[in-house]
Structure 1
Amino acid sequence: MKYRVLGQTGLKVSVVGVGTWQFGGEWGRSYERQEVNAILGKAKELGINLIDTAECYGDHLSESLIGEAIQGNRLDWIVATKFGHHFHRHFDRTDVFEPKDVIHQLELSLKSLKTDYIDLYQFHSGPDAAFDQEELWNVLSRQVQAGKIRHLGISIGSNENIHQTSQATKVKAGAIQVVYNRLDRKPEKEVFPSCIEQNLGVLARVPLASGLLSGKYKPGAKFASDDVRSRRDADQLDRQIQEAEAIRNDEVPQGTDMAAWALAWCLKHPAVTSVIPGCKDVAQVEANAAAVELVEAGHRQDA
């Protein structure tokens, strides 16, 4: 495994992490405790030390499964979670960004994760009006001082949200999370230059474009109703699959696994610290980790 420094936070994170939205049950299946134990156990074995989760991947369900899995080796992990939404049922959430409610969410996350601190606590895809609450950041800063949060971050909802990105240092956030992959390069225009200027860490989410850059799907692909991808426009999905096929034919070296190539492609950008792909099983953890073989040294955040 290779490691980089997550910008201002100083955290040393593996360049490949584990995204855990799937543990909440919105990617076509549910997870049992032993399955999560196996996935995270394999990740640790491979040198992965970064887990990204959220309050609304289930009603703290993903966090609870993670908490059970890592309670015996908590110090070996960098745990990133988020705040700002209340989960009602699959694909149904409401925004909850009032400061007192965020503190309640924090306590629920700490309890679910079976820990007394969160390494990176991220504003979760909220509107600018919620982000601009000065009292919210004052309250969070006090939680940092209390030791319940090590570092603050911002998971921007739109991958072109320069307003929140540009204010990161002001609100004492040290990292940005953003959608970035070979099919979606919008952050390169404004978000990434701002991250570099402020020395922010960057977590690239959806680095495999929801699996489309794995090379497994063909136009006309259908997803189960309990899979979040079933909610996407079918024509747009087909166009992206066709674009992914063209990338595989034109850009991916022959004999190279496309998913590993796609993760390494993200990690080449000087702004990107780590990628956080989801993984449905142990085999996908291994496949994701294999991307490090394609990652060259010389990145500005190399640890």
Structure 2
Amino acid sequence: MKYRKLGKTGMDVSVIGMGTWQFGGEWGRDYTQPEVDAIFDKARETGINLIDTAECYGDHLSEEFIGRATEKDRENWVLATKFGHKFHDLYERTRHFSADDVRRQLEDSLRALRTDYIDLYQMHTGVGEEFDNDELWTMLDKQKQEGKIRHIGLSIGKKEDSYQTKRAADTGAESIQVIYNRLDRSPEEDVLPSAEEQHLGVLARVPMASGYLSGKYKPGAEFADNDVRHRHDKDETRRTLEMVEELAKNEVPEGVPMAQWALAWCLKHQAVTTVIPGCKNPEQVASNAAAADLDMVSGNHPQSV
């Protein structure tokens, strides 16, 4: 595994992290603690140390799984979670960004994660007045001073990504999390250059484009009703899968799994600190981790990313 500094935080994070939305039950299956423990055992073995979650992945359910899996060696992990959305049911959430609401969310996340501190506490796609809220950022700064939060980050959405990245310093944020993958290069226009200028750490989420870049799906594939991808327009899905098929033919080196290529492709951008793919089992953890050894500059492997 390779590690990079997460912007100004000074934290060394694995270039391959682990996203954990799946533990909340919205990836088409429910997890047990032994299954999650096995995934974390493989993460330890491969050197992955950055774990990204959110209080709305289930009702703190993902955090609870993670807390039990990491409490025996908490100091070895960089735990990143988010605030602002309340889980009610599959794909049903309400937004809660007031200072008082977020303070309660923080305490609930600390309990769920079985920890005294969160390494990276991220605003979860806040917009408008949710973001421009001095009371919120003042409260979070106080929580930093009390040691409950080590660093603050922004997990940005599409609507205000450039604006929020440029305002990161005003909030005390030291990192941004952004959707970035071979199918969505829009952050290259403004967000990634701005992050470089400000020395912000960058977490690239959805690096495999919700699994489209995993190499498992061909044109005509359909997804179950309890799979997040079932919500995509059928024509959009068809076009996306056709594009993926072209990438597999023209850009993915022979003998390299497409999923690993997709992760390494993100990491070749100098602004990106780490990618945070999801995983369903230990085998996927190992496969993801192997992407750290792909050399996307020369096309050879294994080499330094």
Give yes or no for the alignment of 1:238 onto 2:260. no
Give yes or no for the alignment of 1:195 onto 2:180. no
**TM, length-normalised to structure 2:** 0.96
Task: Report what 1:75 is aligned to.
Answer: 75
Task: Report what 2:247 is aligned to.
Answer: 247
Give yes or no for the alignment of 1:16 onto 2:16. yes
Task: Report what 1:25 is aligned to.
Answer: 25
Deviations 1:250-284 (A, max 9, x none): 01111111111110000000110000000000110
Task: Report what 2:64 is aligned to.
Answer: 64
Cα distance, 1:295 vs. partner?
4.3
CA contact (8 A) 1:98 1:136 kept: yes
% identity of equivalent residues: 61
CA distance 1:295–1:171, shift in 2 (3 Å): farther
Cα distance, 1:129 vs. partner?
1.7
SS in 2 for 1:246: helix
SS in 2 for 1:59: coil
For structure 1, the 5+ residue unaligned runs are none
Distance 2:86 2:257 in 1: 38
Superposed CA RMSD in Å reads 1.2
Distance 1:234 1:205 in 2: 23
Distance 1:221 1:160 in 2: 32
SS in 2 for 1:181: coil
Task: Report what 1:130 is aligned to.
Answer: 130
CA contact (8 A) 1:160 1:186 kept: no
Letter in 1 for 2:221: A
CA contact (8 A) 1:116 1:148 kept: yes
Task: Report what 2:301 is aligned to.
Answer: none
CA contact (8 A) 2:265 2:296 kept: no
CA contact (8 A) 1:137 1:171 kept: yes
Distance 1:159 1:39 in 2: 34
CA contact (8 A) 1:84 1:124 kept: yes
SS in 1 for 2:293: helix
SS in 2 for 1:65: helix
SS in 2 for 1:132: coil
**TM, length-normalised to structure 1:** 0.96
Distance 1:264 1:85 in 2: 30
Cα distance, 1:237 vs. partner?
1.2
CA distance 1:135–1:160, shift in 2 (3 Å): closer
Task: Report what 1:276 is aligned to.
Answer: 276
Deviations 1:130-166 (A, max 9, x none): 0000110000000000000000000002176111111
SS in 2 for 1:72: helix
Cα distance, 1:128 vs. partner?
2.4
Letter in 2 for 1:44: R
SS in 1 for 2:9: coil
Distance 1:165 1:250 in 2: 33
Task: Report what 1:211 is aligned to.
Answer: 211
Deviations 1:43-78 (A, max 9, x none): 011000000000100000000000000010000000
Structure 1 runs (4+) deviating above 4 angstroms are none
Cα distance, 1:218 vs. partner?
1.1
